[in-house]
């Protein structure tokens, strides 16, 4: 269904309307493979169809969708949330006053200090949002207002976007972190569960989303190891291993307590899937208890820590790719930046000249 570009009387209401429509569109187009709570997602879509009263209410619905399993929705919404507040501050009277120059001004002022990868996400969100409006707006005469936002010459991001070096734990920090896992005062009914899921992520490098989606049948004992079957991005299957000595006691304790739906290995007190946000909060609390401070303290850092250590000890980029389930070797190449031996050779190249 098409709508006039200035669908509401007030600019802020119209802008919110188009953001609601776009977010609803993205909810229906993003991969729903990780969605565990279909009713929760259906509720969000229904609310978006009816409309929201504020950007805060829209943010709450996006959070609901993310907790239901549509993790990627934040990539689009967070930049749009910033754009909403920026445009309200600038005070245009009509959606037609927005142009590429205004969007470039917004990106320049709002993304300073961010990594190129995050800037790229902001750029993608802007292009997708206005491309959506281009296709969906139509006035009574059958004419559409077309933005054609391309951002090809945005100075904040030229050429291919770079990647910020990921945060990771050093070997000493990993040792401290593991000690802190054992001593952290979890509630008795969730202690084994929390230790188990965090150790699995740290010792195997699997994604947080992959860990919370594990089922009982996916973890298979074999001699002194457990084989763990992973369903990764793009519905690609792989197998990782973890030595049983690292998790056996926690696994046995949790299996004696768990009461989960759909054969889930991990669940909350309601029997449903844990959220990624919950796991990241646990990791952050353990890091704080161990006196470890990082720029990013979420659970995804454990995956970076595993990958960094794996490459340092093996110098095998293909092994890193296979272990982490990367579709491309280029994605794994980020961890070569931590190869101290190669960097030392580079630092020593002028020694003979001296």
Beta carbons of 13 and 6 less than 8 angstroms apart: no
164 CB-contact burial (10 Å; exposed 0-12 / middle 13-18 / buried 19+): middle
Tokens of 125: 């969100």
Beta carbons of 275 and 67 less than 8 angstroms apart: yes
Beginning with the edge strand found earlier in the chain, give each strand of the sheet holding 237-243 in spatial order.
219-222, 225-231, 237-243
- E strands in the chain: 219-222, 225-231, 237-243
Q: What is the dihedral of CA 338, 340, 343, 345, to 10 degrees?
A: -150
Beta carbons of 306 and 202 less than 8 angstroms apart: yes
Among all residues, which ones are annotated catalytic? 207, 233, 300, 303, 326, 335
Residues paired with 228 in a beta bridge: 219, 240
Q: What is the dihedral of CA 74, 79, 82, 84, to 10 degrees?
A: -100
The whole-angstrom separation of Cα 120 and Cα 111 is 10
Number of Cβ atoms within 10 Å of the Cβ of 315: 13
Tokens of 220: 């298979």
From the CA atom positions of the chain, what is the Rg in Å? 24
In angstroms, the Cα distances linking 207 to 192, 298, 301 are 20, 12, 10
């Amino acid at each position: 269904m098409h709508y006039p570009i200035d669908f509401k009387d007030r600019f802020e209401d119209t802008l919110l309307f188009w953001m609601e429509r776009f977010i609803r569109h993205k909810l229906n187009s993003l991969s729903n493979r990780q969605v565990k709570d279909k009713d929760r997602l259906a509720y969000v879509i229904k609310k978006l169809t009816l409309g929201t009263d504020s950007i805060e209410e829209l943010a709450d619905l996006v959070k609901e969708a993310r907790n239901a399993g549509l993790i990627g929705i934040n990539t689009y919404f967070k930049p749009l949330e910033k754009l909403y507040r920026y445009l309200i501050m600038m005070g245009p009277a009509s959606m037609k006053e927005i142009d590429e120059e205004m969007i470039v001004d917004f990106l320049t002022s709002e993304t300073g200090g961010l990594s190129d990868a995050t800037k790229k996400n902001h750029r993608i969100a802007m292009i997708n949002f206005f491309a959506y409006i281009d296709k969906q707006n139509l006035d009574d005469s059958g004419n559409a207002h077309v933005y054609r936002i391309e951002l090809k010459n945005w100075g904040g991001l030229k050429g291919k976007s770079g990647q910020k070096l990921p945060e990771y734990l050093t070997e000493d920090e990993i040792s401290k972190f593991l000690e802190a896992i054992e001593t952290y005062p979890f509630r008795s009914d969730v202690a084994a569960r929390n230790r188990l899921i965090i150790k699995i992520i740290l010792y195997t490098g699997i994604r947080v989303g992959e860990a919370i989606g594990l089922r009982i049948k996916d973890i298979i004992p074999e001699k002194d190891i457990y084989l763990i079957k992973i369903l990764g991005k793009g519905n690609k299957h792989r197998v990782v291993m973890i030595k049983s000595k690292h998790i056996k006691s926690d696994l046995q304790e949790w299996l004696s307590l768990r009461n989960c739906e759909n054969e889930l290995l991990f669940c909350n007190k309601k029997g449903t899937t844990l959220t990624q946000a919950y796991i990241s909060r646990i990791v952050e609390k353990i890091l704080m208890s161990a006196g470890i401070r990082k720029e990013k303290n979420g659970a995804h850092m454990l995956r970076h820590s595993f990958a960094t250590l794996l490459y340092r000890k093996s110098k095998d980029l293909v092994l890193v790719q296979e272990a982490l389930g990367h579709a491309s070797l280029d994605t794994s190449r980020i961890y070569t930046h931590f190869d101290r031996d190669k960097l030392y050779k580079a630092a020593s190249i002028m020694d003979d000249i001296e």
